[in-house]
Amino acid sequence: MGLLKVIRVKYEKGVLKLLEPVELEEGEELVIFIRKRRVSEVLEKYVGMFGRASVEELKKYEEEAQAQ
């Protein structure tokens, strides 16, 4: 079994783009496991940060979280 590392990527125009550096040889092949971030994982970071929020504000935060 080789190195196991979790990294964040962003999918844009059919290509997975790395969001952090990795040490790989040119042409090296990898096996990747894909897991979408859950909205709740993103929103948990902001709970209570801005005090009370309206439904409209919460919907905006949810849309932003889904875009990540």
Q: Where are the alpha helices (DSSP H) in 1-68?
A: 39-44, 55-67
- Report residue 36's pLDDT band, with 50, 70 and 90 as the boundaries: confident
What pLDDT shows up at residue 35? Answer: 80
- Report residue 28's pLDDT band, with 50, 70 and 90 as the boundaries: very high
Integer Cα distance of 12 and 67 in angstroms: 12
56 token code pair: 């409209």
38 token code pair: 């859950």
Integer Cα distance of 44 and 9 in angstroms: 20
- Report residue 27's pLDDT band, with 50, 70 and 90 as the boundaries: very high
Q: Measuring CA to CA, which residue among 37, 34, 33, 42 is closest to residue 61?
A: 42
* pTM of the full structure: 0.47
What pLDDT shows up at residue 18? Answer: 93
- The pLDDT of residue 1 is above 60: no
